Structure 1
């Protein structure tokens, strides 16, 4: 499944990937979490529920580009989520992190929060869901190997 910045109703979502994307977007829209927390929470609950929920709070400083407006919080949350699930496989974590950044840059033109939100700050909930869905997709493929 290929995730893009298309409108949600144009995206065909199935199974765990769609559930993760919808969960992350919902958490962001609820106002209870920002982008990084929402991505991490959705991945944790679907791929590593044995990990304490308190781990999600570790991502609380990454929203809004880590306060400086640089790396997108959703991407930072996705990177943390990859490490949370894959844990000891640093080579795979590094490879998937590069893949996530490349995919994100192709979709949104940059990984910098300031650049992305300058065009459309209202797109953050969907972007958050898309990143969570992409990370879930990457993890599913990894688990199927």
Structure 2
């Protein structure tokens, strides 16, 4: 499956204006892939992962990563491939940002300036994996 990464980035930047990282990443990936789920349902699925899972920040996983992991599961039918991709996404994200913890990356939610880039980075990585 080939995703247009330019459209993907535009959607992430648009959604990140008013949605969380988990919602923005999931919605942008699924919409770009034309996955048949409503925006409302995607938001409900992803909203609990916002702010490092329920707003825990310093304890939870970055929403950009969790949004990409949810999209990975929705967009692929092969459980072996889903798990393999999940490991790659986790490791790639951790290598890039030094952590998968929302609080480490966002300074416990006080500095959300890296958030859009985190979303774009991991969404692009999933797009690459989907194209293989």
Q: TM-score, length-normalised on structure 2?
A: 0.85
List gaps (5 residues or longer) in structure 2.
Answer: none
Aligned positions of 1:41-120 closer than 5 A: 41-57=27-43, 58-66=45-53, 67-69=55-57, 70-86=60-76, 88-118=77-107, 120=111
Q: RMSD value over aligned CA atoms?
A: 1.7
C-alpha distance in 1 between matches for 2:121 and 2:10 = 9
How far the C-alpha of 1:109 sits from its partner, in A, is 0.3
1:8 is matched with none
Would you say 1:126 and 2:117 are equivalent positions? yes
**Unpaired runs of 5+ in structure 1?**
1-14
- The Cα offsets for residues 89-136 of structure 1, whole Å up to 9 and x where unpaired, read as 111100000000100011000000011112953111222122222222
Q: Secondary structure at the match of 2:100?
A: coil
Higher helix share: 1
Q: Matches of 1:18 and 1:104 in 2, distance apart?
A: 20
Kept after mapping to 1: 8 A contact 2:21/2:50? yes
TM-score normalized by structure 1? 0.78
**3-state SS of paired residue (2:36):** coil
